[in-house]
Amino acid sequence: AGLDPSKGDIYVTVDVQPSVLRLPPSPKQAIIMSGLGTGMAPFRAFVQERKYQKEMGIEVGPIVLYFGARHRHEEWLYGDEWDAYAAEGLVTRLGLAFSRDQKEKVYIQNKIVEDKALLGDLLGKENGFFYLCGPTWPVPAIATAISQALNPEAAARGEVDASQVEKLKQEGRYILEVY
């Protein structure tokens, strides 16, 4: 890049954006987190905070984590830690999608569709929060999967009713930090 500090000061322009990712107002509210690759980083902090709250005697809501990457053995970031959280019951559901570890590709939106009844309850009846952090490319497929979870009748007819996802957005319960 031709940067040589011996020839004088080097200036770099940086644009810092505040994060949109915040835990729900009540620790009892469910959090459904979807991360791809390094998009998992903020969710680790979320779970650590919920663990601390639980240790302090505060009742915490369900924690659902979806993680997607190509290969488990290469990209399951903090995998032992996540597995331990699941084993102790803090993380109530791990939806892992390693797209290249089997013949058929599996993505997090597939795991979300598998859990549509659970997510319909957590996002619909229990006012949970849905978070996605990572690249932008899966956003449409994930929004469709969430729509199917929130309106299974439309999904059974082969329709996608995006109004429930729009409602979650308006309520601040569908939060994306994508790049």
pLDDT in tens, 147-164: 999 998 888 898 888 999
- Judged on CB neighbours under 10 Å (0-12, 13-18, 19+), 23 is middle
Position 101, amino acid: D
Which has the higher per-residue pLDDT, 134 or 2? 134
pLDDT in tens, 36-89: 888 888 999 999 999 999 999 999 999 999 998 887 777 777 889 999 999 999
Over 70: is that where the pLDDT of 1 sits? no
The pLDDT, as a whole number, for residue 121 is 95
Compute CA 151 distance to the chain's CA centroid, rounded to the nearest angstrom. 20
Which has the higher per-residue pLDDT, 2 or 146? 146
Q: pLDDT band for 22, please (50, 70, 90 cuts).
A: very high
pLDDT in tens, 104-141: 898 999 999 999 999 999 999 999 999 999 999 999 99
CA distances from 54 to 22, 32, 50, 59, 131 (A): 18, 17, 6, 6, 21
What are the helix (H) ranges across 59-151? 72-75, 79-87, 108-114, 116-119, 139-150
**Which long-range contacts (C-beta less than 8 Å, at least 24 apart) are formed by 20-23?**
20/175, 20/176, 20/177, 21/46, 21/131, 21/133, 21/175, 21/177, 22/175, 23/49, 23/50, 23/129
